[in-house]
Amino acid sequence: MYKLLSTIANMLPLKYLPQLIRFRLLTMHMIYAKINAALWLLFLERGDGTMNNNFQEFIKAAAHVKPSENQLRMLRKTPFYAFIHFSPNTYTNLEWGLGNEDPAIFNPTELDCDQWCEAIKSAGMKGAVITAKHHDGFCLWPSKYTEHSIKNSPYKNGKGDIVREFADACRRHGLKFGFYLSPWDRNSKYYGTPEYNDYYKNQLTELLTGYGEVFHIWFDGACGEGPNGKKQEYDYEGYIELIRKYQPKATIFNDFGPDIRWCGNESGSARYAEWAVVPSELCYRCKNVQTGAGPLEGDLSHMYNSDSDIGFLSNIIYSKGLVFCPSEIDMSIRPGWFYHENEEPHSLERLFNTYLNSVGANTTFNLNIPPMPNGRFNDKDAARLHELGQLIKRSFADEITSRAKITSEYIGDGQLRVRFDFDSPEKISYVQIKERISEGQRVETFQLRRENNGKEDTIYRGSCIGSNKICRIGVTTDNLILHITSARDKVELEEIAIFA
């Protein structure tokens, strides 16, 4: 197969490159590495020296695209955090409120932010993001810029501030605090006018300056106004400027950056390969473009967060420049984002698989838990969070890496073999691999192998690694080989951990 692809690669004119690369998507697990090899041959073995040099320089530059301090801290210290959706929708059984709800319906008589934090912490999460305002415009803090807020609700006779209660509870429980402020506002009279951006920035400033340190600020582009609805041009650049001014250590989530991007769905689904180094055409709010243009001229305006090949060579070679912007996988513990009595929490298996395919696949994981109308988490949800935390702890409690004799060797450019030999057969459930992501994301493909009677068998095939890759393998063996089969530059691994 390799020789055939190499021959085809050398015969094809350059104009057929996209078709050749995209062919790998059809049988990704089987020929991902071989098509990459054909791609490299196409550029490196043809006679066009200028193209060869440009390609080599670009790939090397791509390997050195680095995270900011905020991004690195998020990936390393807070990759798993909670989302809290709580608003009049909780009382109307809606997902998107209309904006005309009477604040009098909002009355969480048993609100317990400490219970929220205890449940969140039991799952192993390190932070939480509260929906301070959803699309209906109702504010969970007494904003001085609107009457559609908690100050006109029965809660604490209009003297309550749930954002403050939650921020204080987070700090009591050692959790980081963040918030979501929806740009779409179906209540504000300013929505659809230039004045709305001032209104939004005033509310944003209240939250940025009144509730202590914020680790993550979340805003999306959701708007269901329809073709004849109000049209609002959001001043995202102005919003970002305010955040950088008042909370310089906070990461910012938006569909297109600047710090964390949307994964493209709300079901907890991950891509086969999740790159944090992506075209600036996708994450155009990332201003730190760290490379020049790719070796081929083209147009990437078609790219969207739900595309399956974001960060692959097949698209970055057309980019005007690359940025570092990892994705966030978000989902709710129940089917809905807000509490609905007829729904049940997802299974432990689904939540754990999502954890492996997010935190364990170079993304962050934002798991929503919706409070009930009384202001508490449902006992079933709290129990499921505890079960998830216990399962994560058990799965990674017994590290056996130190029992092995470890040898390693670099094989040319971008390849590495690391071998682990045990004195006797060991049960291996998981292998965790981390690149030195502070220096860039480089690994394209890798395999986990074992030697048996002088022959090596592949037991796991993977694509990129990035900040963290957890491989679930479930074998018993007296040796294990990590073979990095392709990378964009010299492989820099920070950690390899083996768990029984």
Could you give the dihedral angle defined by the CA atoms of residues 302, 306, 308 and 314, in that order, rounded to the nearest 10 degrees?
A: 30
Phi, psi of 181 (to 5 degrees): -120, 105
Q: What is the pLDDT of residues 35-68, one digit of tens each?
A: 554 555 555 555 555 557 788 899 999 999 999 9
pLDDT reading at 345 higher than 70: yes
Specify the DSSP class assigned to residue 356: H
Supply the pLDDT for residue 226. Answer: 80
pLDDT reading at 125 higher than 70: yes
Q: What is the pLDDT of residues 212-259, one digit of tens each?
A: 999 999 999 888 888 878 889 999 999 999 999 999 999 999 999 999
Supply the pLDDT for residue 50. Answer: 58
pLDDT reading at 137 higher than 60: yes
Confidence of residue 15 (pLDDT cuts 50, 70, 90): very low
Distance from chain centroid for Cα 112:
29
Supply the pLDDT for residue 33. Answer: 46
Mean pLDDT of 154-174: 98
Supply the pLDDT for residue 48. Answer: 54
Which two structure tokens, joined as six digits, stand for 320?
């005007």
Which position has the higher pLDDT, 268 or 240?
A: 240
Confidence of residue 281 (pLDDT cuts 50, 70, 90): very high
Supply the pLDDT for residue 40. Answer: 53
What is the amino acid identity at position 411?
I
The Cα-based distances of 156 to 12, 104, 140, 163 in angstroms read: 72, 12, 12, 14
* % of the chain surpassing 90 pLDDT: 82
Report the run of H or E that residue 236 belongs to, with start and end.
Answer: helix 236-246
Mean pLDDT of 437-457: 96
Lowest mean pLDDT among 146-155, 162-171, 293-302, 372-381: 293-302
Burial class (CB in 10 A: 0-12, 13-18, 19+), 118: middle
Q: Which residue has the tokens 């997802």?
A: 346
**What integer best gives the mean pLDDT of the chain?**
91
Supply the pLDDT for residue 472. Answer: 97
pLDDT reading at 181 higher than 60: yes
pLDDT reading at 187 higher than 50: yes
pLDDT reading at 24 higher than 50: no
pLDDT reading at 19 higher than 70: no
Which position has the higher pLDDT, 182 or 56?
A: 182
Supply the pLDDT for residue 51. Answer: 58
Mean pLDDT of 336-358: 97
The span from the CA of 126 to the CA of 61, in Å, is: 33
pLDDT reading at 9 higher than 50: no
pLDDT reading at 500 higher than 90: yes
pLDDT reading at 31 higher than 80: no
Which two structure tokens, joined as six digits, stand for 187?
């209540």
| pTM, to two decimals | 0.91
Lowest mean pLDDT among 30-44, 238-252, 282-296, 455-469: 30-44
Mean pLDDT of 154-171: 98
Question: How much of the chain is in helix, strand and coil states, percent to nearest 5?
Answer: 30, 25, 45
Supply the pLDDT for residue 417. Answer: 97
Helix 348-356 to helix 379-395 angle, to the nearest 10 degrees? 50
Question: For the chain, first and last CA: distance in Å?
Answer: 36
pLDDT reading at 384 higher than 60: yes
pLDDT reading at 194 higher than 70: yes
The span from the CA of 87 to the CA of 126, in Å, is: 23
Mean pLDDT of 58-79: 97
pLDDT reading at 23 higher than 50: no
Confidence of residue 297 (pLDDT cuts 50, 70, 90): confident
Which position has the higher pLDDT, 435 or 412?
A: 435
Confidence of residue 139 (pLDDT cuts 50, 70, 90): very high
Supply the pLDDT for residue 43. Answer: 55
Q: Which residue has the tokens 């479930």?
A: 474
